[in-house]
C-alpha cells in the first residue's frame, strides 16, 4: 500500500483484542493501515509490532501521538487508562476509537466526549455487538412490528473467561475488573440499540463464585426497565462453561430468539415465533469489528455516525455502573444521565 495516500492508525495498548480482531479489522478498510503500536513496555511493543507487521513501536502515548503518520488512534488498554489516553489523543487533534467501558466514572466519560468535541475529532466506542447481522436484524424486525409491542428481553451471556484472559479482569478493581464492566456493559448497549430505548432503573445481585478476587464479581443477574416499558433480565458470568449464549425479545404478538449471538464471531441464528409457527430469519453474517471500524472511518470522513457513538459509550457505561451499585447496595438504582 502507498502509505503517503492512506490513513495511519496508532494502537494504544498491546492487547489481546487488538491482536485477535482489530488489526485485521483496520486492515480490511481500503486506504487504512496500522502504523504504530504503543505498550507500557518497549519490549512488548516491539514484539507486538514485529509479530503483526507494524512499522513503529513506542513506549509512551506521547511518542505514539508525535508520530505524524498516526492520524487515527484505537485504545484497548485496561479500563482505568482509557480516560487519560482519550484526553491526550483529543489534545493531539486525532480521531479516536476507544474500547468499552469508556471509563470507570460517568464524569470521566463525559469529559472524554467533551474533549473530543472541543478538539473537533470523532470519538467512538467499540461496542461490537451492534454490528452483528443478528442483532441488526432483530432491531429491524422489532421496529417493523414483527413481535408487536415489545414487553420483555432476556440476555444469556454467561461464559467462561479463557485462561489467557484470567488476569486484571479478576483481581484488579482499580483497573475496572469484574464481569459487569466487562460483559454487562455490552448487554446494555445491545438492548439500548435493539430496543431503541433508554434505561430507567435497575436491580441486581452479583456472585463471586470461584475466579474473582478483591471484591470483584464473576457472575451477575440483573433486571432493568427501559423507557418503552420493556423489562429485561440479564445473566452474565466468567465462570460458566456450557450455558451457551443468546438473547430473546418477547412481544404481544411474537417472540424473537437469538441463539449463540452474544459473541465476537459472525455467527448465530435468529428465530421468529408467532401465530404462524417458528421460522429461521436469514441474516448475512459479516465481521462485527470490520463493520464497526468501517462506520468509524466513514464518520471520520464526515459520512454518518459511528456504529456506537461516544455518547452511546457513556450511556451504556452509566447503565453498567448502576448495576454495580445495585449489586453493592441491594437497592434499586434510578438511571440519571448527566448532560453530555
Ligand atoms: P489484555 O489483558 O489482553 O490487554 C490489556 C493490557 O494488558 C494491554 O494493553 C497490555 O498493556 C497488558 N498486557 C497484555 N498482555 C500482557 C502480557 N502478556 N503481560 C503483561 N501485560 C500484558 O486485555 P483485552 O485485550 O482483553 O482488553 C483490552 C480492552 O479491550 C479492555 O478495555 C476490554 O474491556 C476491551 N475489550 C473489548 C472487547 C470488545 O469486543 N469490544 C473484547 C475484549 C476486550 P500494554 O499495552 O502496556 O502492553
Nearest-CA residue for ligand 1 atom 48 is 39
Nearest-CA residue for ligand 1 atom 38 is 17
Pairing of β 56-58 and β 32-38: parallel
Nearest-CA residue for ligand 1 atom 46 is 13
C-alpha 102/C-alpha 118 separation (Å) is: 18
Q: What are 305's three cell numbers? A: 455516525
Using DSSP, state whether 69 is helix, strand or coil: coil
Task: Indicate if the pLDDT at residue 309 is higher than 80.
Answer: yes
C-alpha 157/C-alpha 10 separation (Å) is: 31
- Count of CB atoms situated within 10 Å of the CB of 107: 11
Which phi and psi angles does 138 have, rounded to 5°?
-65, -40
190-208: per-residue pLDDT in tens?
999 999 999 999 999 999 9
Task: Indicate if the pLDDT at residue 1 is higher than 70.
Answer: no
Mean pLDDT, the chain, rounded, equals 97
CA 40 to the chain's CA centroid:
23
Nearest-CA residue for ligand 1 atom 20 is 44
129-289+318-334 matches 3-127 in CATH topology: no
Task: Indicate if the pLDDT at residue 108 is higher than 70.
Answer: yes
Residue 3, pLDDT score:
62
Report yes or no: 219 and 111 within 8 Å, Cβ to Cβ: no
How far does the centroid of ligand 1 lie from the alpha carbon of residue 178, in Å? Answer: 14
CA 188 to the chain's CA centroid:
10
Q: What are 235's three cell numbers? A: 445473566
Residue 163, pLDDT score:
96
How far does the centroid of ligand 1 lie from the alpha carbon of residue 132, in Å? Answer: 22
C-alpha 126/C-alpha 302 separation (Å) is: 19
How far does the centroid of ligand 1 lie from the alpha carbon of residue 45, in Å? Answer: 13
Ligand 1 probe mutation, 16, 132, 185, most atoms within 8 A of CB: 16
Sheet holding 32-38, edge to edge: 56-58, 32-38, 7-12, 72-75, 95-98, 123-125
What is the atom index within ligand 1 of the atom nearest the CA of 181? 34
How far does the centroid of ligand 1 lie from the alpha carbon of residue 227, in Å? Answer: 34
CATH architecture for segment(s) 129-289+318-334: 2-Layer Sandwich (3.30)
How far does the centroid of ligand 1 lie from the alpha carbon of residue 276, in Å? Answer: 46
Report yes or no: 66 and 93 within 8 Å, Cβ to Cβ: no
Residue 338, pLDDT score:
87
> What residues pair up with 239 in beta bridges, in sequence order?
160
Task: Indicate if the pLDDT at residue 2 is higher than 70.
Answer: no
What is the atom index within ligand 1 of the atom nearest the CA of 129? 40
Q: Which residues contact 2 (CB under 8 A, 6 or more apart)?
A: none
Q: Which of 291, 338, 243 is nearest to 130 (CA)?
A: 291
Sign of the alpha-carbon torsion through 302, 305, 311, 317: negative
Q: Determine the CATH number of domain 3-127.
A: 3.40.50.720
Residue 183, pLDDT score:
98
Residue 339, pLDDT score:
87
34-88: per-residue pLDDT in tens?
999 999 999 999 999 999 999 999 999 999 999 999 999 999 999 999 999 999 9
Cα separations (Å) of 327 from 177, 186, 232?
Answer: 15, 18, 16
206-259: per-residue pLDDT in tens?
999 999 999 999 999 999 999 999 999 999 999 999 999 999 999 999 999 999
* Binding-site residues, ligand 1, Cβ < 6 A: 13-17, 39-41, 44, 76-79, 99-100, 126, 128, 165, 167, 182, 264
C-alpha 46/C-alpha 1 separation (Å) is: 22
C-alpha 298/C-alpha 211 separation (Å) is: 40
What is the atom index within ligand 1 of the atom nearest the CA of 169? 2
How far does the centroid of ligand 1 lie from the alpha carbon of residue 18, in Å? Answer: 8
C-alpha 256/C-alpha 248 separation (Å) is: 6
Percent residues over pLDDT 70 in the chain: 99
127-163: per-residue pLDDT in tens?
999 999 999 999 999 999 999 999 999 999 999 999 9
258-283: per-residue pLDDT in tens?
999 999 999 999 999 999 999 999 99
How far does the centroid of ligand 1 lie from the alpha carbon of residue 174, in Å? Answer: 15
326-340: per-residue pLDDT in tens?
999 999 999 998 888
Report yes or no: 149 and 251 within 8 Å, Cβ to Cβ: yes
C-alpha 223/C-alpha 34 separation (Å) is: 41
C-alpha 187/C-alpha 330 separation (Å) is: 21
C-alpha 135/C-alpha 140 separation (Å) is: 9
Residue 5, pLDDT score:
73
User: What pTM was estimated for this model as a whole?
Assistant: 0.97
DSSP 77: S
Domain segments of the chain as ranges: 3-127, 129-289+318-334
Ligand 1 probe mutation, 11, 12, 15, most atoms within 8 A of CB: 15
DSSP 35: E
Nearest-CA residue for ligand 1 atom 31 is 78
Amino acid at each position: 500500500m502507498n502509505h503517503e495516500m492512506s490513513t495511519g492508525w496508532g494502537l494504544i495498548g498491546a492487547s489481546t483484542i487488538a491482536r485477535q480482531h482489530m488489526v485485521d479489522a483496520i486492515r480490511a478498510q481500503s486506504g487504512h493501515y496500522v502504523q504504530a503500536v504503543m505498550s507500557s513496555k518497549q519490549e512488548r511493543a516491539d514484539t507486538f509490532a514485529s509479530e503483526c507487521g507494524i512499522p513503529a513501536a513506542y513506549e509512551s502515548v506521547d511518542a505514539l501521538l508525535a508520530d505524524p503518520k498516526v492520524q487515527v488512534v484505537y485504545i484497548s488498554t485496561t479500563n482505568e487508562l482509557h480516560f487519560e489516553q482519550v484526553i491526550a489523543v483529543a489534545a493531539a487533534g486525532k480521531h479516536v476509537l476507544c474500547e468499552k467501558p469508556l471509563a470507570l466514572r460517568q464524569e470521566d466519560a463525559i469529559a472524554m466526549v467533551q474533549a473530543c468535541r472541543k478538539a473537533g475529532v470523532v470519538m467512538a466506542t467499540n461496542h461490537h455487538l451492534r454490528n452483528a447481522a443478528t442483532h441488526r436484524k432483530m432491531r429491524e424486525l422489532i421496529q417493523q412490528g414483527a413481535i408487536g409491542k415489545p414487553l420483555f428481553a432476556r440476555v444469556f451471556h454467561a461464559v467462561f473467561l479463557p485462561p489467557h484472559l484470567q488476569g486484571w479482569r479478576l483481581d484488579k478493581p482499580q483497573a475496572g475488573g469484574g464481569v459487569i464492566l466487562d460483559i454487562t456493559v455490552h448487554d446494555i448497549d445491545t438492548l439500548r440499540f435493539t430496543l431503541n430505548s433508554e434505561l430507567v432503573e435497575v436491580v441486581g445481585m452479583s456472585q463471586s463464585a470461584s475466579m474473582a478476587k478483591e471484591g470483584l464479581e464473576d457472575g451477575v443477574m440483573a433486571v432493568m426497565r427501559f423507557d418503552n416499558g420493556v423489562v429485561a433480565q440479564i445473566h452474565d458470568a466468567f465462570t460458566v462453561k456450557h450455558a451457551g449464549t443468546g438473547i430473546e425479545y418477547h412481544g404481544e404478538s411474537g417472540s424473537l430468539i437469538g441463539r449463540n449471538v452474544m459473541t465476537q464471531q459472525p455467527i448465530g441464528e435468529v428465530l421468529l415465533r408467532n401465530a404462524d409457527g417458528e421460522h429461521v430469519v436469514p441474516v448475512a453474517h459479516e465481521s462485527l469489528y470490520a463493520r464497526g471500524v468501517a462506520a468509524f472511518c466513514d464518520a471520520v470522513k464526515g459520512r454518518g455516525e459511528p456504529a456506537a457513538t461516544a455518547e452511546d459509550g457513556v450511556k451504556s457505561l452509566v447503565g453498567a455502573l448502576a448495576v454495580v451499585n445495585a449489586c453493592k447496595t441491594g437497592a434499586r438504582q434510578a438511571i440519571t444521565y448527566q448532560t453530555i
